[in-house]
Every structure is written in C-alpha cells, then in structure tokens.
Amino acid sequence: MLKIKFLKESKLLAESNQGLYEVIGVLPGSLDLFLETFSGSNIAFERSVRNYVSSNYQSLIDNLTEEDIPATSARGYKSPLNKIKAQLMAGTTYWWYTIFGLQPAQAIIRFKVVSYYVELEDRLEDIGYGQEGFDFESLEQKDKMIVYEKHFWEDYLDSFFDNHMGNVADLGKVYVGAAGIQSGLYGQMRDWWMSTDGLGIMKSEMRSEKDELYLSMKGEDDPEDAPERKEPQWFEKGVNAWDDGAVGYDRQEDVPRPKED
C-alpha cells in the first residue's frame, strides 16, 4: 500500500503541483515558477545551465577518464564514463560534488538560483510590479501568482526549506520520497542533490537572492531591509490564507475541527 501511495503522489507532482500545494498549505499557483524551474521541465533553464557549464568547466569534462570516476552503472549510456559526462554537462550537482568537490557544485547551484530569480524579476517587471500606478487587483490570476511567489520567499523561505525540503521534516503524511522521509520536495527536485546534501547551499543562495530582489524592487514606503521571516500559520479547511479576513492559528491542533452534520 505504501508503494502505491508513493506512485500515486509522485504522479500528482508529474501531472500538476496540486499535491504539493495541499501538503504545504499555500495558495495553489504561488510557487509555480519555482517548481517549474527546479522540479518540472524548463527547456530554457536547462539550456542556460548547459551553456554555463560549457563556458566554465568544459575542459574538466573533456579530460575526465575512467580512472577518475567511482564505480557506477552505464544506465542507458555506452559506458559509465559517458553517463557521468552527460550528467556533468547537464549540471547535476551530485556528480560535480562527487568528482570535483564543493567549489564547482556550489557555483552551479548559485547559477541555478540566480537564474530563477532573474526570471522571477523579469516576470514582475513585465506586469509593472513596483512601478507607479501598479494595480494588483486588476491583474490576471496568473500574474497575481508571480507577486505572491516573491512575497512567499520573503515571508516563508526558512520554514519552507526546513519543513518541506529537509529530510528531518515530519508532515504527518508522505508526499513523495523514500520510506521514512516525510517531506514535500526532499530528493524530488530534478537536480536531487540540491534538495538533500546540498540543501544548505541552495537555501543560503536563495536567501541572498531574495534580499537582492527585495532591495531592487522596493517602493518608497517599504522598509529599508527585507521583511523578517514569518512562521507559517494553519487555517481552517476551505479558508483562503490570502484573504484579508482569514484567521490563522500558530499550531495545527488549534484549528477548529469541522462541525459534523
């Protein structure tokens, strides 16, 4: 039964992000760009990563020999060496860290995070965010989601990484992942090492870019520094957490139980 549950919920992630949104309890759509970039299929992002790797590390890949790599299967390639070279070219940080150490792995993670924030900033600029006369209420729903995504990281970056990407997270249910690992994205990102052993690096880079984006787009009346992180709140089922009148609770057990018919 557990295997079936994993398969079912993994399929949810493949088909849409609804399953993950249900687990983390945030407005569906408010992390779509992040999930598209790091967990889905983003051809432009993948191409930019390959170009970055080629521009900075092509000679390391070209000079790699069988003697340089650990034992591994070929898994669909002519040889283990060909497989690892292909993974390195794609920017798979597990193999960069395993063969070449922390420095290139960290640099590639930084490039990926910066690329995500550049795209987020571009989309915000496209809808006029931060410009004179910006009217949030007049935006289409998909454009409102971009604004929510920016503010989500300003408010909940630490708690998201700790509770929904960390392997010690305990959500009370399994979304996807190995037995005993109860976390929304632990090991499930396309570059899975970034959400396991490399998670601390990614979190640090996300913090840095979050603050940079805030400073570059803050209005005249906004605080000088990025907002302090917030602790997530729990809401009654059916209540939209983004509504001004929504009542949040600090602990899940404080949320009123639905009345029985």
The string of pLDDT tens digits covering residues 173-212 is 444 434 444 446 666 688 989 888 898 999 999 999 999 9
Of the candidates 101, 120, 116, the one whose C-alpha atom is nearest the C-alpha of residue 198 is: 101
Q: Which of 36-40, 81-85, 100-104, 139-143 has the lowest mean pLDDT?
A: 36-40
Asked whether residue 175 is assigned to any structural domain, the reply reads yes
Q: How much is the pLDDT for 140?
A: 94
Report which of residues 188 and 139 the model is more confident about.
139
Question: What is the DSSP track for 193-258?
Answer: GGGTTTHHHHHHHHHHHHHHHHHHH--TTS-SSPPPP----B--TT--TTSTT---BSSGGGSPPP
What's the rounded Cα separation, in Å, for the pair 17 and 115? 21
Residue 230 belongs to some domain of the structure: yes
Least confident of 44-48, 49-53, 240-244, 246-250: 240-244
CA 194 to centroid of chain Cα atoms: 9
The identity of residue 209, as a single letter, is E
Copy the structure tokens of residue 119. 């795209």
The Cβ of residue 89 has, within 10 Å, a number of other Cβ atoms equal to 16
Q: Is residue 92 part of a domain?
A: yes
Average pLDDT rounded to a whole number, residues 4-27: 55
Over 60: is that where the pLDDT of 10 sits? no
Domain count, the chain: 1
Residue 253's pLDDT is 62
Share of residues in the chain with pLDDT > 70 (%): 66
In a domain, 260, yes or no: no
Residue 61 included in any domain: yes
Q: Using a CB cutoff of 8 Å and minimum separation of 24, what contacts does 214-223 make?
A: 214/154, 216/121, 217/121, 217/124, 217/129, 217/130, 217/150, 218/130, 219/130
With 0-12 CB in 10 A as exposed, 13-18 as middle and 19+ as buried, what is 148? middle
Q: Is the pLDDT of residue 94 over 70?
A: yes
Q: Over 70: is that where the pLDDT of 241 sits?
A: no
Q: Does residue 156 sit in helix, strand or coil? A: helix
Confidence check: pLDDT of 242 > 80: no
Q: Classify residue 261: in a domain, yes or no.
A: no
Tokens 């499930």 belong to residue:
188
What is the arithmetic mean of pLDDT over 32-37? 91
Neighbours of 118 (CB within 10 A): 13
Predicted confidence band of residue 99 (pLDDT cuts 50, 70, 90): very high
The pairs formed by 176-180 with CB atoms below 8 angstroms and a separation of 24 or more are: 176/6, 176/9, 176/10, 176/13, 177/6, 179/2
Residue 243 CA to residue 247 CA, distance in Å, equals 9
**Under DSSP, is residue 170 helix (H, G, I), strand (E, B) or coil?**
strand
Residue 235's domain comprises: 2-254
Contact 255, 235 (CB under 8 A): yes
